[in-house]
Structure 1
Amino acid sequence: MTTIRLLAADGATSDVPLADSGAYTRPSAPLRSRVAYAAAHVVPKTHADNTPGQPADIDWDATLAFRRNVYSWGLGVADAMDTAQRNMGLDAAATRELIARSAAVAREEGGSVVVGVNTDHVDEERIPLTQVIDAYVEQLHFVEEQGAGPVLMASRHLARVAESRTDYLRVYAAVLQQATTPVVLHWLGTAFDPQLEGYFGSSPWREASTTLLRIIDENPGKVAGVKMSLLNAESEIAVREQLPDGVRMFTGDDFNYVDLIGGDTTRSSSEERSDETKRGALAADRASSPSALSTTGGHSDALLGAFAAITPVASAAIQALDAGDPARYLQILGPTEDLSRQVFAAPTFYYKTGVAFLAWLNGHQPAFQMVGGLHSARSLPHLSRIVELANAALALEDPELARERWHGMLRLNGVGA
């Protein structure tokens, strides 16, 4: 029996059986039951000076090959967002090049791509609202010129200078009126970016959501969807139930996506689990959202960093929904949620390290490196737990390769394997 070695926080090692891969198959037709985007990361050149503070030096072949792989599984790509280390190593010039190159690949592959629109190319810390609008519009027009779908990201500049919800209403209205195609609005929580405290004019999500919904109502035809990344299923369901017809909810909740995506379709199958399994699932959901399972209201689509880490598994799960088999959906995707919770564990903004680590284990990049040196942001025991959970969730695409790479990393760090 082949085993894989694990490393505990106290330095102890243990061995567990190496599971087979899920052996999932790529879809033969477009996915139908859900719209799903994997928020992809970037791969640096192995030999480049991608140390803290240095401009990003991207391995474009590996970076774009990763996106082609996502398309081959039937998912779309969400690019130039926080997963791609935007605001954490990916500078403005590299962001623009990434958007242009990624949009070109989407055209070649016939895939769907959405990309982030922000104000982060402006160097000044504080700028007036009129300049926030201009900065947004500049990036919006560039994205539209590339033929990509715009995701209007939360702006740190706006968060710094907005004095009330009125300022948010004013800025978003001005930007949306310049959009020539409907956009996705991104609500990013402070777990991902502490500088966004009080976004949409209030810290409590219920009050902030009224501003978000008013933006949508006051700009008809301009909003295609909302991506919520608050890691709070209750807030997402509450907003989802109030969205106008034609506006999608894209979950960005990497803690609770299984039930949010499954929604009403999988609720009855979920209720058929054994009592012991249900108790464990309910306890996990209540830890972050007391009413995650008890609230009804359709389903969410997906725009997730987690799906970049588990692309074949995510595709197989949605294929199960397409086939009318919600129980199979839960069987496939359910085990990945513990893995995602580990990847996105506090401090959550370092989740990108886990995404890149899994890409390396699965053979999608030549080395475990990240721009800005961010591959050092997680400890070996943290990464070991990712290995353990990925193995259990059948998320290691080539288990033998993952074992070889992980054991080599352990030996390099003085751990026998």
Structure 2
Amino acid sequence: MGGLTLLAPDGALSRVALPDAPEYTRPTAALRSRVAYAAAHVVPRVAGDNTPGQPADIDWDATLDFRRAVYGWGLGVADAMDTAQRNMGLDAAATRELIARSAEVARESGGRVVVGVNTDHVEEERISLRAVTDAFLSQLAFTEEQGAGPVLMASRHLARAAESAEDYRRVYREVLQAASGPVVLHWLGTAFDPTLEGYFGSSDWRAASAVLLEIIEENVDKVAGVKMSLLDAASEVSVRERLPEGVRMFTGDDFNYVGLIGGASVPDAAQPARDAEARHQHSDALLGAFAALAPSASAAIQALDADDPDRYLAILGPTEELSRQIFAAPTFYYKTGVAFLSWLNGHQVAFQMVGGLHSARSLPHLSRIVELAAGCGALEDPELAADRWHGMLRVNGVDA
């Protein structure tokens, strides 16, 4: 195939070969060995005023078609979360519409969907613990009305209002008891949102995890799992091994997911479970990275279903370097890389994002994403991707 032009930070150009797309096969039955959700992004309307500070103007056809594509690979969708630019351009009205529309598409497609429940529809920055609880309850009720599975996201309001670990216990206790069925808890680290410093009552993950586990154990019938996004594999394994029976660990670690998902079934994978006899020998997945890597993620889990851990590592292992580039500091701008790959892979007609966030990464940063995506098989149509990337370079004055 043709070549690929790359742009270095110093402005130097280089040319590398453009590999063929891998021939991954869509599953013919449900994935069995892992539960995996791709945290999906939203696609803006090209003619919309998606400038900073404006309400999100979403291209619903492209946004929902992307979710259908994820379901086609056998993965679930995690929606209206940080990958969808929650708290970074996706306003409250757009969030509610996204949840309703996404839940409807899941029913039509026979897909599995979970969605974020937060307190972010409240405009005031500082509110009381009572108001935090009520805000959670309001969004929880709406989500359950839509038929979607709730994910209780870390709340900036709660982080500001809580004065002790007991405040977290009190709020989560009331919200969980109001849930009609089990929910997923979300522990988001400061790399993704610096305002969540000290969540669960401490900046030390060991102390905070003790509070989290107490909340789960007190409400075990209302907790389906916990998503950890601390980008620290050791902390995830530590919590995973102490979860009550029946509570899943959903990795949100976009740096170390290969070993965490592979677990004890994958020899020599990064950060395997320490105790082969432990009840929880692997993590399931709820990852923004999987929105950029749906075919690879599906093929890798299909390999685990076939009891082929070597193929799992061969497929998913090379993607981790790409994910680390997408999620490089400042990590909260990772959504730009997810949308960029969506555009390269033909899932949207333009590289645009709500809030103008497509400008959050440099051309050399995006060039490295292109290079790594080509190398690990993440370009679904390499010729289309190369054509779009080279056009972007030319628009920016670079002779591609």
Smaller-chain TM-score bracket: over 0.9
Name 2:137's counterpart in structure 1: 137
Residues of 2 paired with 1:323 and 1:134: CA distance? Answer: 46
Superposed CA offset, 1:224-249 (max 9, x none): 00000000000000000000000000
Q: Write the letter of the residue equivalent to 2:350.
A: A
Q: Which runs of 5+ in 2 are unaligned?
A: none
Q: Residues 55 and 90 of structure 2 are in contact (CA less than 8 Å); yes or no, is this contact kept in structure 1? A: yes
Q: Write the letter of the residue equivalent to 2:263.
A: G
Say whether 1:101 aligns with 2:101. Answer: yes
Superposed CA offset, 1:166-215 (max 9, x none): 00000000100100010000000000000000000000100000000000
Q: Residues 262 and 272 of structure 2 are in contact (CA less than 8 Å); yes or no, is this contact kept in structure 1? A: no
The structural deviation recorded for 1:92 is 0.1
Q: Write the letter of the residue equivalent to 1:228.
A: M
What pairs up with 1:135-214 in 2 under 5 angstroms?
A: 135-214=135-214
Name 2:19's counterpart in structure 1: 19
Residues of 1 paired with 2:287 and 2:274: CA distance? Answer: 22
Of 311, 329, 332, the residue aligned with 2:312 is: 329
The structural deviation recorded for 1:321 is 0.5
Q: Write the letter of the residue equivalent to 2:287.
A: L
Q: Residues 237 and 273 of structure 2 are in contact (CA less than 8 Å); yes or no, is this contact kept in structure 1? A: no
Say whether 1:385 aligns with 2:368. Answer: yes
Of 274, 287, 290, the residue aligned with 1:295 is: 274
Superposed CA offset, 1:365-410 (max 9, x none): 0000000000000000000000000000011000000000000000
Number of residue pairs aligned between Structure 1 and Structure 2: 396
What pairs up with 1:342-357 in 2 under 5 angstroms?
A: 342-357=325-340
Superposed CA offset, 1:354-373 (max 9, x none): 00000000000000000000
Name 2:343's counterpart in structure 1: 360
Q: Write the letter of the residue equivalent to 1:24.
A: Y
Q: Write the letter of the residue equivalent to 2:22.
A: G
Give the secondary-structure state (helix, strand or coil) at the position aligned to 1:50. Answer: coil
Q: Write the letter of the residue equivalent to 1:107.
A: R
Name 1:263's counterpart in structure 2: 263
Name 1:281's counterpart in structure 2: none
The structural deviation recorded for 1:23 is 1.6
The structural deviation recorded for 1:254 is 0.1
Q: Write the letter of the residue equivalent to 1:411.
A: R
Name 1:304's counterpart in structure 2: 287
Name 1:45's counterpart in structure 2: 45
Residues of 1 paired with 2:58 and 2:272: CA distance? Answer: 41
Name 1:288's counterpart in structure 2: none
Superposed CA offset, 1:23-81 (max 9, x none): 21100110000000000000000111100000000000000000000000000000000
Q: Write the letter of the residue equivalent to 2:361.
A: R
Give the secondary-structure state (helix, strand or coil) at the position aligned to 1:151. Answer: strand
Q: Residues 33 and 301 of structure 2 are in contact (CA less than 8 Å); yes or no, is this contact kept in structure 1? A: yes
Residues of 1 paired with 2:81 and 2:150: CA distance? Answer: 11
Give the secondary-structure state (helix, strand or coil) at the position aligned to 1:221. Answer: helix
Q: Residues 187 and 227 of structure 2 are in contact (CA less than 8 Å); yes or no, is this contact kept in structure 1? A: yes
Give the secondary-structure state (helix, strand or coil) at the position aligned to 2:192. Answer: coil
Residues of 2 paired with 1:220 and 1:33: CA distance? Answer: 23
TM-score for both structures, normalised by structure 2: 0.98
Give the secondary-structure state (helix, strand or coil) at the position aligned to 1:123. Answer: coil
Q: Write the letter of the residue equivalent to 1:321.
A: L
Residues of 1 paired with 2:125 and 2:221: CA distance? Answer: 32
Q: Write the letter of the residue equivalent to 1:397.
A: E
TM-score for both structures, normalised by structure 1: 0.94
Q: Write the letter of the residue equivalent to 1:316.
A: A
Give the secondary-structure state (helix, strand or coil) at the position aligned to 2:267. Answer: helix
Give the secondary-structure state (helix, strand or coil) at the position aligned to 1:340. Answer: helix
Give the secondary-structure state (helix, strand or coil) at the position aligned to 1:177. Answer: helix
Say whether 1:396 aligns with 2:379. Answer: yes
Give the secondary-structure state (helix, strand or coil) at the position aligned to 2:361. Answer: coil
The structural deviation recorded for 1:295 is 2.8
Residues of 2 paired with 1:194 and 1:98: CA distance? Answer: 25
Say whether 1:59 aligns with 2:56. Answer: no
Residues of 2 paired with 1:312 and 1:294: CA distance? Answer: 26
The structural deviation recorded for 1:22 is 1.0
Say whether 1:315 aligns with 2:298. Answer: yes
Residues of 2 paired with 1:259 and 1:188: CA distance? Answer: 20
Superposed CA offset, 1:303-354 (max 9, x none): 0000000100000000000011000000000000000000000000000000
The structural deviation recorded for 1:294 is 7.2
Residues of 1 paired with 2:174 and 2:291: CA distance? Answer: 33
Give the secondary-structure state (helix, strand or coil) at the position aligned to 2:258. Answer: helix
The structural deviation recorded for 1:220 is 2.5
Q: Which runs of 5+ in 1 are unaligned?
A: 271-284, 286-291
Q: Residues 117 and 143 of structure 2 are in contact (CA less than 8 Å); yes or no, is this contact kept in structure 1? A: yes
Residues of 1 paired with 2:204 and 2:274: CA distance? Answer: 20
Residues of 1 paired with 2:284 and 2:89: CA distance? Answer: 29
Residues of 1 paired with 2:237 and 2:21: CA distance? Answer: 33
